[in-house]
Structure 1
Amino acid sequence: ALKARRLGYLVIHADASKNEVLINAGINNRATAVLCTTGDDVVNVYITLTSRHLNPNIRIISRANNQDNVKKLYQAGADNVIQPFEIAAMVVAEYIGQPVAFEAILGIIREEKQFIMETLCVDTGSIIDGLKISEIDFNRRKLMLVGVISANPVHRKHKNSYKVKNQHFYFNPEQFFVLRADDLLVVLGRDVAIDYFRDQIEKSRLKNGRER
């Protein structure tokens, strides 16, 4: 919560199943989406129901911890339902045999706090703007690249693409995938490694005198 506040996000530490909490969070004006990601499907269903009641048009993404509850979450009003263990299994199958990636996956599954999933923006003029995936040594950086989120139509030729509103998510992009300004890298790894890489990207952008 403290880190989010430092980054300029509005943080409310309260029970999201209560109407007044969602209203204070801006569900009827500022908010564009609701994420229900608790480890309890009953709570996620209740938050989904409450959110849909308060705002019939808001996008709701909910987590299903049990396959049996996927249908219930959709019936409650979720637009998208994410099944973390199914996703983890897919990622494990894709990256098995890669030590750094496998360590990161296990860290997430075991909920080890130093392992996190984050997005890193490809800033215009930064060290990764215009680079191929093969030119970024993620293993050396102790990071695992899960995918790239982009609205740039130049990427549409690539496989493993999943449409998300006006953007596409490219899962495990090919080595010749060229990063463009404003693309988002979805990475897994230790928090210190991610923070260091983000700092390098930011400093290289500032060094080149570019503003976001």
Structure 2
Amino acid sequence: MESGPRYAATGLFVCFEGGEGGGKSTQSRLLRDWLTAEGHTVLLTFEPGDTAVGREVRRIVLSPETGELSHRTEVLLYAADKAEHVDTVVMPALDRGEVVITDRYVDSALAYQGAGRVLDPADVARVNRWATGDLRPHLTVVLDLAPAAGLGRFEERDRIEAESVEFHERVRAAFLALAVDDPDHYLVLDARQPIDEIAALIRARVAPLLTQAVR
């Protein structure tokens, strides 16, 4: 019997999601800087690759030299990165009462490997929810941008970025659908807006959560 979604009882878990070139890394850093200035202890992290195991996974799944992978292999590799990330980086920080900001999490697997690879979304969700103990972010910020615009920001593309525009359109639609299904835990923003305006909207949504988080 499934236990259902799990939200950390201590700390605050914020995730940035969306397609390529939407500014996730920039906004993650800006939020970290603001929270730190406000006196919070913040851990800024990312997937895949912010563990020793994850670095090996990242090399395999993103290097163009890897070539074709079985889609199921890709799902399992990303899930392994997430399991290690949650157990050794994310949960220890949340247990300490810190704010954890991650650039990508489970939704990326649901969007890229589920919708993008046209795999059964229930299968992809089951593997990733098990890998992470079904730990959910208190808030997921989706920075939405048309794939043609986002991909145009890269001179060189990794193995996933090099997929077709149609692939990335499916990914975009999946992110938006996830947000529609759970509006209380999502904030969808137009990534074409000025960087400082986006940052202000994110701060406005995060601020009330800071008072609710158990320390």
Task: Give your verdict on TM over 0.5.
Answer: no
User: Relative to total residues, which structure has the larger helix share, 1 or 2?
Assistant: 2
TM-score when scaled to structure 2? 0.27
TM-score when scaled to structure 1? 0.27
User: Relative to total residues, which structure has the larger strand share, 1 or 2?
Assistant: 1
Pair member with larger Rg: 1
Kindly indicate whether structure 1 or structure 2 has the higher relative contact order, using CA contacts under 8 Å at least 6 residues apart. 2
